[in-house]
Each structure stands twice: as structure tokens, then as C-alpha cells.
């Protein structure tokens, strides 16, 4: 049986993107930005476990202590992807993929970051595969 | 009628060495041309200095006299200056010399205290004593009315103050107007009669107190007279305080008006900074709201996906439930079949079963052995569990709120940037001098305090006057009684008192009548002049108020509430002309830069009217303000002389008679 993750983390690339996003002051904390990225990835049609991601030494959230990702998100992943047995691994995957997607256009939109994120939210449906 | 004949300057301002202007004997206009910074205002000040020993700067502030010494002369070791004015008045010839002379033992002077003033007045060749000199000068040209003879065209706008009820400068100007019109002669006479009346009343009371039959009345009158005196003294004391406060208020008002523009900019900058702080506060609130909303942004994005999933799960749930219902019905049927086989008869109609039917019923049904109810229920439970999980997911559509916040934040950015630009503009214009800002703020606070004190003192005077009115009433009653029973013993004093009473009333009424007549004359004459100066425009004339303020009346009878700076100058000049015509005291009109704000047609009208406003008119103008050719064409023979200031260095100007002079 595949073991699920206890800590969810970002890799070096997504850590950098996360830093850019946090500099805009749009999100209160990194957890909010991470959830946003996760939802954006799901809404854009990413499927869990499409590829392996390496996480680095950056931000990490502990699952066991429930200090970040509430049980509801795990349930949501399980509801959306009933075949999965590693919802937290999937969450990590979606966060990193979502951050990469956001990061692609972030550099040139950093002066209008809110507009950019709003556009992402509105266009997420269109991107859905 | 004072007429200037000659002015000799010695090291006064830019006029280095000795320079003389000889004014023509004939009545008419003299024009002295000088460009900016060449010495026009200094020349006007030279006349002011000769007559009153003062030099005024911009805003009518006295300038320290040592600063007037010619700079090049002082570098050469010649300190001080001298102005000699020769003039004629009522057939007498005067030579007035005033000089600022370095005190003995002072080598390097740097303040007025290092100098002393010398002043001599020669009348018809005889040098007058100091007292005679001062008396003579105060009669020939009192300083209080100098504003109507020597003036800066730029300051003519201050006459608009006469139209403002709450103005502090207005009463000073209207006081000066009454003075030039001779009103104080009657007012002083009224005051003298009032003093005589008081004395007569006192004597009457004393006389009454000496006679037994009127003793009580006499004593009561004496007592009331003492009280009256006490209240009078208090009113005088309060009035003196009030005058001082009003002087202070005017000084502060002058400071504030001088700094009004700078102060308005400081206020604007302060307000902008407050607005920016408020904006920042609002922005922080909006950013807080944004962060709050962004906590749920992910839910919004997954909303449709979750809805879709929920709807498919619910359909699946319905299908399973239908399958369970069918399974239950089938179970019931199998149970009945088994019972019939076992009992050999139909459980419904109780008819015995045939052998073929019983054999057929013994064979298992095709549905038996398919998915069991338990399995279906397990599937249902799973679905419920998933639906329950989704049930916790409450999506939120926050895009509208986000757009609103984004718009607000964009507006904040634009507003803040606009405000910061304006602050920078203001700072470039008025600097960052916090001392100036503080001193203006202090002046505003002082002004408010003085205004409060004035209101309090005026209240005090009003209460004192009420007390006086009561005393006067009591005294009047007592005097009436005294008249009835006093008889011959107080007849002499009573007659004297009644005479003073009548005289006092006569002068009081006289003052009112004289003032009213003067106002009518000034209104008429200023209107006539105003119509000449504004020829071709749709005005009916000017209307005078109690303070000698003049309002322009349109042909349709309507008042014109707002007027331009040039209109203000025209109205002020009309008032000047009317005052010159009606004043017992007359003199030359000497104006610095009177045409700056006027267009050509008004310049022409004013030039045409000038020779009729005063016998002697001296204009200090610059070339662009009044072209010599135009002046000559309009004034023709009335233009008596032209002078030109020639600037040699920044501190050295000479005044030369123009070659083109008549």
C-alpha cells in the first residue's frame, strides 16, 4: 500500500514563485496562496500523480497536526478523485503544479498581480481540459 | 492746497548723490517713467519720508531707515541720507528738510539706533520751532490722510474693505476718509459741547445741594454724576483697550493677509497629508478585506467542479436507491413463492398448486444471486459519505467583491499619486519652512484670541453704556424735578446747562447731517467720475454705504457683487477724485503703478480724468504700463513734464528730465 505524505512542501521553483506572490500582499499567508494554486491546478484540469515532483527545503506544512490543510480539503480530493489513496500527496502535487502555472505569467504581470490573479480565476474554466 | 515744487534727494535708496526733480508750476500731470526695480517706489517713499519721516515697504510695513541709505555711498563711507521737499500751501512757501544722520562716534552703523533724524521746516523763509513745525505739517498734510495723496496703485484694492461689515481695515480707511472730509472738526466740537454739558450739570447739582429745598436732589445728582464719571472712565479704559486690540487685530490680519496665500498652501498641504493618511487607512482596510476574501478564492474556483460532482453523485444515489427498492420487491416475491411451494397452495387465492406449477416455482429466479441489498446499501453509504464530505465544501463567489476591491485599490493609487504630486508642487512653491508654518499658525491663533477679547470688551462697553443710560434717565428725572422746584437759586446754572444741552444736541445732529450730506456728495461725485472712467459700459453709477464703501450699480439697477482688480482700481480712483473735490484739505495725487491692471480703454479714460481729479498729479509708471506716446496723445497740454529714471547699477539710478518733455 502506497504511503501518503505527512508533510506537504514546495520545490525550489515553486518556493520562488510563492515568494513573488507573497510580496504582492494579496494573500494573508502562504497557506492561502497554496490553496489558491491547488484550486487553480484542479480547475485547469491537472490530474493527480501525472508526474513526480521533488520538494525542496522550502515551505512545509505538517499534515498530522492539522495546522494547515483541513480535513475538508482531503475529503474534497477524495471526492473528486475517488481512486486516489494518497490525498495529501495529491494536494502537494496540485499546489506545486498550480504555482508553476501561476508563475508562468507572473513576472510580466507582477505590477498588476491582483488583475492577473482575477483573470486566472475567471479563465480557469476555459483552461479546463 | 498743497503743491509740490521741488524734491531734492541725497543718497536716498538708489538715488546716489544729490538729485533734483523740479516740478512745473502749472497745474497738470507729471509722469516719471522707470522700469521695475529702478526706484519708482523709492521715489514715492522719499516724499513720504520728507513729510512723515517714514518709509513703507510692500504691505505698508515700515522699513528700517538705515536700510534706505544708498549702498554704493555707504561703501564709500557716506552714511545716511537727506530729502528736501519744497512746496506751496495756501500761498505760503515751505521748505522741508529731513535727514538721517549718523550719530557721533559710530563708525560702522548697522541699525536705526546708530542714526538720528533731523528735520527742519522753513516757512516763507523762516525756520520754525519743532512744535510749530509739527503743527504746521499736521495741518498741511496730516499723515492720517496721506493714503489719499501718496499711494501705490496695487494697494487701491484695499478700498474694497469698505464694503465688508466685519473688516478691520475698513474702519481705519473710513476714519481717514472722514478725516480728510473734515468730519472730525464737527465731532470734536460735539465732544467739547459734551464736556461743557457735563460740567454745567455738575455745577447745577452743586448749586441745588446748597439750597435746603433742593438739597436732596442736588446730592442725588452729585452722587449719580460720580457714578456717571466712574462708568465714563471705565468706558474710556475699555475703549482704549478695544482700540489697542483692534490695532493688534489689524496687524495680525495684515500678517495673515500677507501670508494668506502661503498659509492657504500650507493648509492645503496639511489637508492633503491628512487625506493621504486617511487614504492609507482605507487602503489598509481594503487590503485586509482582500486578504480575507482571498482565503476563500480557491473555493470559488472549484465551485462548478464540486457542483458537477455533487449532481452526479446524487444521480448515482437515486439509481442505487431504485435498485434497492426493486430488490426488496423481488425478495418479497421469492418469499411468497417459497411459501406456496412449501404449503402446496397459493398464499393469495389459497387454490392448490398443480404439479407443473410447483416444479416451475422450485426453479431459482434469474434475479436471485445478483447484487445483494447489503452491497447496494454499502454503495449508498459510500455515496453518502462522499456527499457528506462535499457538504462541508461551501463555495463562495467572490469575484464581484474582488473586482470592487481592485477598483478601490486602483483609485487609491491614482488619488494618492495625484495628492503627492500636488504636495510636491506646493513644496516647490512655498518650501518646507516649518518655522514660517508655525508662525502663521501662531498668528491665526493670536488672531482668534484677539477677536474673542474684542467681543468680550465690546460686551463690557455695551453693559457700561446700559448702566450709563439708566443713570442718565435718573439724572434726567431729577433735573426735571429740580427745574420745577429749583426756582431762582439754581436758575443761572440751569440756564447754562440747558444751553450746553441744546448745543450738544445741535452738534450731534450736525454731525449726522454733515455726514449724510458728505456721503451724498461723495456718492454723486464718485459716480460722475466713475462713469467717465468706464465710458461706454452699462453702469448707472456708484452707491455709497455708511463706511464710504462704493458698490457698482448696473444700468438695470442691480448691484454688481463681484468685481475685478481693475474695476476695484477704477472705483478707488473715483473715490479719490470725489474726496479731493469735497475735502477742505487738498493736495497732489502721487501714484505708483496705477495702470498695471487696466486695459487701454480704461487707461485712456483714467488719463483723461486725472487732470480733473487734482490740480497736481504725479504718475510713477513703467514703459509697458503706460506708453509715453499714448500719454502725450491723451493728456495733450495737460502733460506738464516727463522724467525718466536711468539705472546705472543695481544701486544707482538717476532721474533725468526726458528730452521729449513738453
The arithmetic mean of pLDDT across residues B399-427, rounded, is 89
Q: How far apart are CA B253 and CA B225, in angstroms?
A: 40
Assigned C-alpha cell, B344: 402446496
pLDDT tier at B255 (50, 70, 90 boundaries)? confident
Q: Do A35 and B300 make contact, defined as CB atoms within 8 angstroms?
A: no
Q: Which of B294, B390, B417 is most worth mutating to test chain A (most A CB atoms within 10 A of its CB)? A: B294
- Give, for B592, the enclosing helix (H) or strand (E): strand B589-592
Does residue B415 surpass a pLDDT of 60? yes
Taking the CA of residue B427 and the nearest CA in chain A, the distance in Å comes to 29
Q: How far apart are CA B227 and CA B179, in angstroms?
A: 33
Does residue B647 surpass a pLDDT of 50? yes
Q: Do A26 and B302 make contact, defined as CB atoms within 8 angstroms?
A: no
Q: Which of B285, B298, B382, B397 is most worth mutating to test chain A (most A CB atoms within 10 A of its CB)? A: B298
pLDDT score, position B83: 96
Q: Do A28 and B291 make contact, defined as CB atoms within 8 angstroms?
A: yes
Assigned C-alpha cell, B446: 493670536
Pairing between strand B150-152 and B539-544? unpaired
Q: Is A129 near chain B, with CB under 8 Å?
A: no
Q: Are B140 and B94 in contact (CB under 8 A)?
A: yes
Q: How far from B606 is each of B370, B502, B553, B594, B635, CA to CA, in Å? A: 120, 47, 19, 10, 10
Taking the CA of residue B281 and the nearest CA in chain A, the distance in Å comes to 15
Q: Is A79 near chain B, with CB under 8 Å?
A: yes
Q: Is A10 near chain B, with CB under 8 Å?
A: no
Q: Do A121 and B399 make contact, defined as CB atoms within 8 angstroms?
A: yes
End-to-end alpha carbon distance in chain A: 30
B163 or A32, higher pLDDT:
A32
With CA atoms as reference, report the closest residue to A35 among A127, A111, A121. A121
pLDDT score, position B371: 61
Taking the CA of residue A63 and the nearest CA in chain B, the distance in Å comes to 18
Residue of B nearest to A124 (CA): B301
Does residue B660 surpass a pLDDT of 50? no
Q: How far apart are CA B587 and CA B614, in angstroms?
A: 7
Q: How far apart are CA B530 and CA B398, in angstroms?
A: 71
Q: Do B386 and A78 make contact, defined as CB atoms within 8 angstroms?
A: yes
pLDDT in tens, A45-93: 888 876 666 666 667 787 764 445 565 788 888 888 888 888 888 999 9
Pairing between strand B15-22 and B2-12? antiparallel
pLDDT score, position A125: 56
Q: Do B389 and A79 make contact, defined as CB atoms within 8 angstroms?
A: yes
With CA atoms as reference, report the closest residue to A78 among B149, B386, B197. B386
Of B302, B386, B402, the CB nearest to A39: B302
pLDDT score, position B320: 87
Assigned C-alpha cell, A63: 499534515
Q: Contacts of residue A124 in chain B, CB cutoff 8 Å?
A: 301
Q: Which of A21, A29, A79 is most worth mutating to test chain B (most B CB atoms within 10 A of its CB)? A: A79
Neighbours of A100 (CB within 10 A): 17
Does residue B323 surpass a pLDDT of 90? no
Mark out the alpha helices in B431-564 (DSSP H runs).
Answer: 434-486, 491-533
Q: Do A43 and B301 make contact, defined as CB atoms within 8 angstroms?
A: yes
Residue of A nearest to B297 (CA): A36
Assigned C-alpha cell, B437: 508654518
Pairing between strand B28-33 and B616-621? parallel
Q: Is A113 near chain B, with CB under 8 Å?
A: no
Q: Is A42 near chain B, with CB under 8 Å?
A: yes
With CA atoms as reference, report the closest residue to B98 among B45, B148, B61. B45
Q: Contacts of residue B302 in chain A, CB cutoff 8 Å?
A: 39, 42-43, 76
Q: Do A32 and B295 make contact, defined as CB atoms within 8 angstroms?
A: yes
Q: Which of B301, B385, B394, B395 is most worth mutating to test chain A (most A CB atoms within 10 A of its CB)? A: B301
If interface means Cβ-Cβ distance under 8 Å, which residues of chain B face chain A? 287, 290-292, 294-295, 297-302, 304-306, 309, 313, 386, 389-390, 392-393, 399, 402-403, 405-406, 409
pLDDT score, position A39: 92
Q: How far apart are CA B588 and CA B615, in angstroms?
A: 7
Taking the CA of residue A49 and the nearest CA in chain B, the distance in Å comes to 19
pLDDT in tens, B460-471: 999 999 999 999
Q: Contacts of residue B392 in chain A, CB cutoff 8 Å?
A: 72, 75
φ and ψ at residue B93, rounded to 5 degrees: -100, 130
- Give, for B21, the enclosing helix (H) or strand (E): strand B15-22
What percent of chain A has a predicted confidence (pLDDT) above 90? 26
Q: How far apart are CA B504 and CA B499, in angstroms?
A: 8
Q: How far apart are CA B404 and CA B378, in angstroms?
A: 48
**DSSP string across B518-547:** HHHHHHHHHHHHHHHHTTTS-EEEEEE-TT
Residue linked to cell 478707488: B572
Does residue B661 surpass a pLDDT of 50? no
The structural domains of chain B, ordered by start, are 297-395 (1.10.287)
pLDDT score, position A129: 39
With CA atoms as reference, report the closest residue to B613 among B551, B550, B568, B570. B570
Q: Contacts of residue B297 in chain A, CB cutoff 8 Å?
A: 32, 35-36, 39, 117, 121
B366 or B41, higher pLDDT:
B41
B355 or B313, higher pLDDT:
B313
Neighbours of B538 (CB within 10 A): 8
pLDDT in tens, B611-635: 888 889 999 998 888 888 899 989 9
Q: Are B31 and B621 in contact (CB under 8 A)?
A: yes
pLDDT score, position A128: 46
Mean pLDDT for chain B overall = 86
The arithmetic mean of pLDDT across residues B258-283, rounded, is 87
Taking the CA of residue B362 and the nearest CA in chain A, the distance in Å comes to 43
Q: How far apart are CA B160 and CA B551, in angstroms?
A: 9
Q: Is A78 near chain B, with CB under 8 Å?
A: yes
| Backbone φ/ψ region at A45: left (φ over 0), alpha (ψ -120 to 50), beta | left
Q: Are B599 and B537 in contact (CB under 8 A)?
A: no
pLDDT score, position B121: 95
Quick one: DSSP state of residue B553? Answer: E
Q: Which of B309, B317, B389 is most worth mutating to test chain A (most A CB atoms within 10 A of its CB)? A: B389
Please, what's the b/e burial string for B506-535 (b: 16 or more CB within 10 A of its CB; e: otherwise)? ebeebbeebbeebbeebbbbbbbbbbebbe
The arithmetic mean of pLDDT across residues B528-536, rounded, is 85
Which of B206-215, B278-287, B382-391, B512-521 shows the lowest mean pLDDT across its residues?
B382-391
Q: How far apart are CA B160 and CA B170, in angstroms?
A: 8
User: How many contacts (CB atoms, under 8 Å) link A and B?
Assistant: 79
Assigned C-alpha cell, A119: 483573470
Of B287, B292, B309, the CB nearest to A25: B287
User: Under DSSP, is residue B560 helix (H, G, I), strand (E, B) or coil?
Assistant: coil
Q: Do B297 and A39 make contact, defined as CB atoms within 8 angstroms?
A: yes
Q: Is A118 near chain B, with CB under 8 Å?
A: yes
Q: Contacts of residue B395 in chain A, CB cutoff 8 Å?
A: none
Amino acid at each position: 500500500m502506497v504511503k501518503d505524505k505527512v508533510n506537504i512542501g514546495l520545490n525550489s521553483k515553486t518556493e520562488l514563485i510563492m515568494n513573488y506572490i507573497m510580496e504582492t500582499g494579496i494573500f494573508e499567508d502562504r497557506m492561502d496562496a497554496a490553496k489558491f494554486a491547488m484550486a487553480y491546478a484542479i480547475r485547469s484540469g491537472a490530474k493527480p500523480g501525472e508526474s513526480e515532483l521533488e520538494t525542496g527545503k522550502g515551505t512545509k506544512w505538517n499534515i498530522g497536526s492539522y495546522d494547515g490543510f483541513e480535513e475538508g480539503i482531503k475529503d474534497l480530493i477524495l471526492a473528486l478523485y475517488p481512486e486516489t489513496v494518497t490525498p495529501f500527496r495529491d494536494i502537494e502535487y496540485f499546489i506545486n503544479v498550480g504555482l508553476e502555472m501561476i508563475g508562468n505569467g507572473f513576472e510580466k504581470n507582477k505590477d498588476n498581480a491582483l488583475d492577473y490573479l482575477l483573470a486566472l480565476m475567471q479563465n480557469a474554466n476555459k483552461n479546463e481540459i | 492746497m498743497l503743491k509740490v515744487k521741488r524734491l531734492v534727494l541725497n543718497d536716498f535708496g538708489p538715488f546716489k548723490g544729490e538729485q533734483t526733480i523740479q516740478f512745473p508750476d502749472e497745474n497738470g500731470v507729471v509722469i516719471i517713467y522707470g522700469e521695475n526695480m529702478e526706484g519708482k517706489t523709492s521715489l514715492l517713499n522719499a516724499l513720504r519720508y520728507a513729510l512723515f519721516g517714514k518709509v513703507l515697504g510692500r504691505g505698508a510695513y515700515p522699513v528700517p531707515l538705515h536700510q534706505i541709505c544708498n549702498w554704493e555711498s555707504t561703501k564709500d563711507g557716506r552714511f545716511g541720507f537727506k530729502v528736501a521737499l519744497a512746496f506751496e500751501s495756501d500761498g505760503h512757501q515751505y521748505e522741508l528738510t529731513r535727514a538721517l544722520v549718523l550719530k557721533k562716534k559710530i563708525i560702522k552703523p548697522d541699525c536705526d539706533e546708530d542714526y538720528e533724524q533731523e528735520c527742519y521746516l522753513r516757512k516763507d523763509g523762516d525756520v520754525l520751532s519743532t512744535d510749530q513745525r509739527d503743527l504746521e505739517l499736521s495741518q498741511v498734510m496730516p499723515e492720517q490722510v496721506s493714503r489719499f495723496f501718496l499711494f501705490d496703485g496695487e494697494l487701491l484694492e484695499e478700498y474694497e474693505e469698505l464694503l465688508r461689515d466685519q473688516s478691520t481695515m475698513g474702519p481705519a480707511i473710513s476714519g481717514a476718509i472722514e478725516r480728510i472730509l473734515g468730519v472730525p472738526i464737527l465731532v470734536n466740537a460735539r465732544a467739547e459741547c459734551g464736556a461743557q454739558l457735563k460740567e454745567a450739570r455738575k455745577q447745577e447739582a452743586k448749586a441745588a445741594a446748597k439750597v435746603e429745598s433742593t438739597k436732596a436732589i442736588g446730592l442725588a445728582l452729585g452722587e449719580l454724576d460720580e457714578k456717571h464719571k466712574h462708568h465714563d472712565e471705565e468706558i474710556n479704559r475699555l475703549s482704549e483697550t478695544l482700540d489697542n486690540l483692534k490695532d493688534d487685530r489689524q496687524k495680525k490680519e495684515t500678517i495673515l493677509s500677507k501670508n494668506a496665500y502661503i498659509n492657504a498652501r500650507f493648509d492645503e498641504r496639511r489637508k492633503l497629508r491628512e487625506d493621504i493618511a486617511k487614504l492609507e487607512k482605507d487602503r489598509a482596510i481594503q487590503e485586509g478585506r482582500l486578504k480575507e476574501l482571498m482565503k476563500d478564492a480557491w473555493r470559488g474556483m472549484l465551485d462548478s467542479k464540486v457542483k458537477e460532482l455533487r449532481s452526479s453523485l446524487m444521480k448515482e444515489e437515486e439509481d442505487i436507491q431504485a435498485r434497492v427498492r426493486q430488490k426488496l420487491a423481488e425478495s418479497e416475491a421469492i418469499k411468497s413463492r417459497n411459501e406456496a411451494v412449501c404449503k402446496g397452495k397459493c398464499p393469495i387465492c389459497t387454490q392448490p398448486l398443480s404439479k407443473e406449477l410447483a416444479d416451475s416455482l422450485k426453479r431459482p429466479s434469474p434475479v436471485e444471486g445478483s447484487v445483494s441489498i447489503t452491497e447496494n446499501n454499502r454503495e449508498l453509504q459510500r455515496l453518502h459519505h462522499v456527499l457528506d464530505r462535499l457538504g462541508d465544501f461551501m463555495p463562495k463567489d467572490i469575484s464581484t467583491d474582488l473586482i470592487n476591491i481592485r477598483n478601490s485599490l486602483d483609485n487609491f493609487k491614482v488619488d494618492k499619486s495625484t495628492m503627492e504630486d500636488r504636495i510636491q508642487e506646493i513644496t516647490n512653491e512655498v518650501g518646507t519652512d516649518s518655522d514660517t508654518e508655525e508662525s502663521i499658525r501662531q498668528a491665526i491663533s493670536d488672531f482668534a484670541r484677539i477677536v474673542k477679547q474684542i467681543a468680550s470688551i465690546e460686551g463690557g462697553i455695551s453693559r457700561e453704556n446700559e448702566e450709563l443710560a439708566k443713570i442718565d434717565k435718573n439724572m434726567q428725572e431729577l433735573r426735571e424735578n429740580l427745574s420745577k422746584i429749583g426756582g431762582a437759586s439754581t436758575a443761572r446754572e440751569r440756564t447754562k446747562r440747558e444751553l450746553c444741552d441744546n448745543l450738544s444736541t445741535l452738534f450731534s445732529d450736525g454731525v449726522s447731517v454733515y455726514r449724510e450730506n458728505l456721503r451724498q456728495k461723495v456718492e454723486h461725485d464718485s459716480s460722475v467720475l466713475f462713469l467717465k472712467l468706464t465710458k461706454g459700459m452699462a453702469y448707472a453709477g456708484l452707491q455709497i454705504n455708511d463706511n464710504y464703501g462704493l458698490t457698482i450699480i448696473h444700468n438695470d439697477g442691480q448691484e454688481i457683487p463681484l468685481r475685478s482688480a481693475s474695476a476695484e482700481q477704477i472705483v478707488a480712483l473715483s473715490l479719490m477724485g470725489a474726496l479731493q473735490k469735497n475735502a477742505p484739505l487738498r493736495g497732489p495725487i502721487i501714484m505708483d503703478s496705477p495702470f498695471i491692471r487696466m486695459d487701454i480703454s480704461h487707461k485712456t479714460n483714467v488719463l483723461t480724468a486725472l487732470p480733473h481729479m487734482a490740480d497736481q498729479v504725479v504718475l510713477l509708471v513703467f514703459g509697458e504700463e503706460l506708453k509715453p506716446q499714448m500719454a502725450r496723445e491723451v493728456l495733450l497740454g495737460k502733460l506738464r513734464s516727463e522724467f525718466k529714471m536711468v539705472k546705472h547699477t543695481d544701486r544707482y539710478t538717476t532721474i533725468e528730465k526726458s528730452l521729449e518733455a513738453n
